Amino acid sequence: MAKILIFNATPLAMETRLREAGSPSYEELLQGSIGRHFPRGTPIDYFSLRVADGERFPQGLGIADFDGVWISGSPFNVYRLDQPSVREQIDLAREIWTGGVPTFGSCWGLQLMTAALGGTVRLNPNGREIGVARRLWLTDSGRAAPMFRDKPPAFDALCTHEDEVETLPAGATVLASNDVSGVQAATIAKGRRSFWGVQYHPEFPFSTVAAIISTRVERHLDEGLARSPAEVAEVVADFRAIDAAPGRKDLAWKHGLGRDVLDPTARTIEFRNWFETQVQPFAARR
């Protein structure tokens, strides 16, 4: 049985707000992203650790007990070492890397491992990217990478972030970019150590993006992303409607959406590839 650690980097209070606004839990997001690609009989054991709130392993359990780790998104900024738990999360990410357990990082997960291994992260000078990350294109390395097997060479993805990777650590390779962020996906490797990271959120459904937007209305207005609360509310309503009925052609046309973001199987294929090529072989070697 493959055992996966959910490194939950979002405080409970914030995740509760998102769930109240219609998002699944982070545990449900990962289980759904992986589970939709494998038969129900595939044995996978998930263990969630709310690292953002200072939760640590119970006695007798540690990194070595897992075959894979997913590092979730987070509201923190990795360069703000004064923020609660940031230094502790960096230390734990470094411990995971040292332990050699295959790891996948979404958004904050990519930024966190970058900082843990000597790279740098900054506030994106191009501004916030939220809703749909447009026109991501695979580099030459990305086209050949296992992460993007069966993924088109250019695609859109659901996202929310204000920070970006500025410089990657040694052993890293950029796999995808777009006009907003030069590092939309990367791998870091050393010997048998493996980290896959993306700046977007392949685990997100439209309901989660809608929930995030709905809880940050004033911020989006201040940043010029909308001109009124009514405009924000319209986007939220549309995204919730898309989540309930992905076949709505009117909304797909209105927002310029294609199969890469509307089809949950296509949207989460990075997790399938990670589980098949990284987690399962690691579990088999144990």
CB 50 within 8 A of CB 7: no
* Count of CB atoms situated within 10 Å of the CB of 63: 17
Phi–psi pair at 7, nearest 5 degrees? -85, 95
Q: What is the Cα–Cα distance from 4 to 2, expressed in whole angstroms?
A: 7
- Annotated catalytic residues are 107, 201, 203
CB 96 within 8 A of CB 196: no
In the Cβ-directed half-sphere of 272, how many Cα atoms lie within 13 Å? Answer: 15
Helix residue spans in the chain (DSSP H): 12-20, 26-35, 86-99, 108-116, 140-144, 206-214, 217-222, 229-244, 249-255, 259-262, 264-267, 269-274, 280-285
